[in-house]
Amino acid sequence: MSLSIIVAKASNNAIGKDNALLWHLSDDLKRFKKLTMGHPIIMGRKTFESLPGVLPGRVHYVLTGNKDYKAPEGVLLFHDVKSLMESLPEGENFVIGGEHMYKALLPYAGALYITEVEKPFDGDAFFPEIRPEDWVVTEETEGEGNIPHRFITYHRK
């Protein structure tokens, strides 16, 4: 089993505000879909509720402390990180947010797919600092759109 993180973050590490994203980048959404399609996606309850609905073609692994939480078909609920991790299948699994999940699962991630938005944003949710000495950049491409951004892939050294 491998764990990968996918995130779009501002230059000050902001990732969201009021449980929503801070920008609309259509090439980023397309890349998110392409990379995650067919793979399990792991998220916190707040990120799950920020989605437009259940994303097709991907089993959702959602963490919540609320044992009464009801979720639609295609969504697996977990109440602690350990049992979620033990339930993940072979192959690549994607952590898709938010701040709580990135912080909790970064130590277990082998790859990071980071969309680096090249300016700061006013947010209330942030991506944790990564230690550059732990990671090697394996791919880097320029994004296209109204806000300058780059797609950077890191693998753990």
Ligand X SMILES: NC(=O)c1ccc[n+]([C@@H]2O[C@H](COP(=O)([O-])OP(=O)(O)OC[C@H]3O[C@@H](n4cnc5c(N)ncnc54)[C@H](OP(=O)(O)O)[C@@H]3O)[C@@H](O)[C@H]2O)c1
Binding-site ranges for ligand X (CB under 6 A): 7-8, 15-17, 19-21, 43-47, 50, 63-66, 79-81, 96-101, 104, 125
Task: Provide, rounded to whole angstroms, the least separation between the CB of residue 20 and ligand X.
Answer: 5
User: 84 or 135, CB closer to ligand X?
Assistant: 84
Task: Provide, rounded to whole angstroms, the least separation between the CB of residue 83 and ligand X.
Answer: 10
Task: Provide, rounded to whole angstroms, the least separation between the CB of residue 157 and ligand X.
Answer: 23
Task: Provide, rounded to whole angstroms, the least separation between the CB of residue 125 and ligand X.
Answer: 4
Two tokens, residue 152 = 């950077």
Starting at the edge strand that comes first in sequence, how are the strands of the sheet with 149-156 ordered? Answer: 75-78, 60-63, 41-44, 92-97, 2-9, 111-117, 149-156, 135-142
Task: Using alpha carbons, select from 40, 130, 132 the residue that is nearest to residue 92.
Answer: 40
User: 18 or 142, CB closer to ligand X?
Assistant: 18
DSSP state of 129: P
Task: Provide, rounded to whole angstroms, the least separation between the CB of residue 14 and ligand X.
Answer: 8
User: 82 or 131, CB closer to ligand X?
Assistant: 82
User: 59 or 85, CB closer to ligand X?
Assistant: 85
Two tokens, residue 119 = 């300016």
User: 63 or 135, CB closer to ligand X?
Assistant: 63
- What is the Cα–Cα distance from 79 to 67, expressed in whole angstroms? 7
E strand residue ranges, the chain:
2-9, 14-16, 41-44, 60-63, 75-78, 92-97, 111-117, 125-126, 135-142, 149-156
